């Protein structure tokens, strides 16, 4: 097994720190995510790291983005998808918080 990438662990910690603030907002964070219709980004729990797997739990709805339940960081395709999805979640949360609060850059 490879070592877990530090950059991904850092990004997950940053997202987990924002989840409580985002869940208290009046509007649900949304993203276009490369499409023409907005998709909601609603996480129900913190993102978990267990061995080489990363788990993202989101609200079940047809209007949500639709993240994978489990990502394997040892699989190259799954790792690239995880990087993109974490980036999308981070940007969406930052944008939503920036609309409500002043967030330092």
pLDDT score recorded for residue 102: 60
pTM of the prediction? 0.89
Bridge partners, residue 2, by sequence: none
As a whole number of angstroms, the distance between CA 94 and CA 103 comes to: 8
pLDDT score recorded for residue 103: 57
**At residue 105, does pLDDT exceed 60?**
no
- Write the pLDDT tens digit of every residue in 10-69: 999 999 999 999 989 989 999 998 788 999 999 999 999 999 999 999 988 888 888 888
Nearest to 57 by CA among 69, 65, 66, 40: 69
Identify the residue with better confidence: 78 or 99.
78
């Amino acid at each position: 097994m490879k070592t877990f990438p530090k950059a991904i662990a850092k990004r997950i910690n940053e997202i987990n720190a924002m989840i409580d603030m985002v869940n208290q907002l009046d509007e649900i964070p949304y993203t276009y995510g490369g499409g023409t219709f907005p998709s909601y980004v609603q996480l129900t729990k913190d993102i978990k790291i267990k061995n080489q797997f990363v788990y993202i739990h989101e609200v079940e709805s047809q209007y949500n983005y639709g993240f994978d339940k489990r990502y394997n960081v040892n699989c190259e395709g799954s790792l690239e998808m995880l990087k993109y999805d974490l980036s999308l979640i981070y940007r969406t949360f930052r944008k939503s918080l920036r609309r409500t609060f002043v967030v330092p850059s």
